[in-house]
């Protein structure tokens, strides 16, 4: 399909392990966002990529979190040494730069850290 | 950082009733957005508001951008079962990017047939 895709859909891991979450944005969208949604909470901004500019990492909660975007398309969010409080839904969204404020969200990755 | 207060947190209503929810902010936004999220899915944009005082409709949905730029409401008329979900407001400032993009905590809408 033409929408934002994320993988895996669900991830169960043990405390202390590293995880990688993947986002495939809509083709041609230069802006990409990662959000975290904890149970009963709104969306918490994590990181923002815009074209070839340096990413805005101001929302990353700790240095265990990092993200990269290769070739201006696919993005990977990595969480090292996972903790139980990292359990959440991780959502990716993409947007046309300078567009009409329309972010298209993927279905999310549900992460459970045991 | 900026905070959005969204209310109510949840609503239990009968099918056919009208629904109203709102968001208030401690600071000004240039754009207000309303999203709906269904179980297992990402949020989907319902309505975007760009001017203070603007009133916009999308089918049975109506949203307004408060004149002070610090609030917005969303109304749903004649609710139907498929309206069930979590509704989020979001405020954004000009220049795009991540700055000023703030989400409320959501309103859970539950409809009893």
pLDDT in the model for residue B7 = 96
Which tops the pLDDT comparison, A20 or B93?
A20
Contacts of B98 in chain A (CB under 8 A): 33, 45, 47-48, 56, 58-59
Interface touch A102/B4, C-beta < 8 Å: no
Which tops the pLDDT comparison, B39 or B61?
B61
Q: How far is CA B74 from the centre of its chain?
A: 5
pLDDT band at A58; cut points 50, 70, 90: confident
Dist. CA B61–CA A89, nearest whole Å: 27
- State yes or no: pLDDT of A99 exceeds 80: no
Query: Strand (E) positions, A14-108?
Result: 19-24, 31-37, 43-50, 65-69, 75-79, 88-95, 104-105
To the nearest whole Å, the CA of A52 is away from the closest chain B CA by: 13
pLDDT in the model for residue A52 = 81
pLDDT in the model for residue B100 = 47
């Amino acid at each position: 399909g033409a929408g934002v895709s994320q993988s895996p859909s669900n991830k169960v891991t043990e405390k202390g392990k590293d995880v990688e979450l993947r986002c495939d944005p809509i083709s041609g969208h230069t802006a990409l966002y990662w959000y975290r949604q904890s149970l009963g909470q709104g969306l918490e901004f994590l990181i923002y990529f815009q074209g070839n500019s340096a990413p805005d990492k101001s929302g990353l909660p700790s240095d265990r979190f990092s993200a990269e975007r290769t070739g201006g398309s696919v993005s990977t969010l990595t969480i090292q040494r996972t903790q139980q409080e990292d359990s959440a839904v991780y959502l990716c969204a993409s947007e046309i730069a300078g567009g009409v404020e329309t972010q298209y969200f993927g279905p999310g990755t549900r992460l459970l850290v045991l | 950082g900026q905070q959005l207060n969204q209310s109510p947190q949840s609503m239990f209503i009968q099918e056919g009733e009208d629904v109203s929810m709102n968001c208030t902010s401690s600071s000004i936004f240039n754009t207000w957005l309303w999203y709906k999220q269904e179980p297992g899915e990402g949020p989907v944009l319902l309505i975007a508001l760009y001017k203070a005082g603007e009133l916009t409709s999308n089918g049975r949905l109506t949203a307004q951008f408060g004149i002070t730029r610090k609030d917005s409401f969303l109304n749903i008329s004649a609710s139907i079962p498929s309206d069930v979900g979590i509704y989020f407001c979001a405020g954004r400032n000009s220049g795009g990017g991540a700055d000023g993009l703030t989400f409320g905590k959501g309103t859970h809408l539950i409809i009893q047939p």
